[in-house]
Structure 1
Amino acid sequence: MNTVALLPHSKHLLPGGRLKLVISRVCDVRMVTEAMANNDPFALGMIAPNSSPETITNIPAIATTVTIIDFNCCDGGLLEIIVEGTNKISVSTLSMAYDNLLTAAYEPRSNWPAIAINPANQILANKLKLLFASMPELSQLYQQPNYQDAAWVSQRWLEVLPINIKHKQSLIYYPTADMTISFLLQLLQDHHLINN
Structure 2
Amino acid sequence: MTVTVFCASSTRVDGRHVAVAAEVGAELARRGHTLVTGGGVQSCMGAVAAAARAGGARTVGVVPAGMPASQEVPDGANDELVLVSDMRARKAEMDRRADGFLVLPGGIGTLEELLEIWVARTLKFHAKPIVILDPHGVYGRLRELMEHLLDEGFNRPAAVEAVHYAADIAAAFDHLEAEHRLLSAALQQT
Structure number with bigger Rg:
1
Q: TM-score, normalised by structure 2?
A: 0.27
TM norm structure 1: 0.26
Question: Between Structure 1 and Structure 2, which shows a larger proportion of helix residues?
Answer: 2
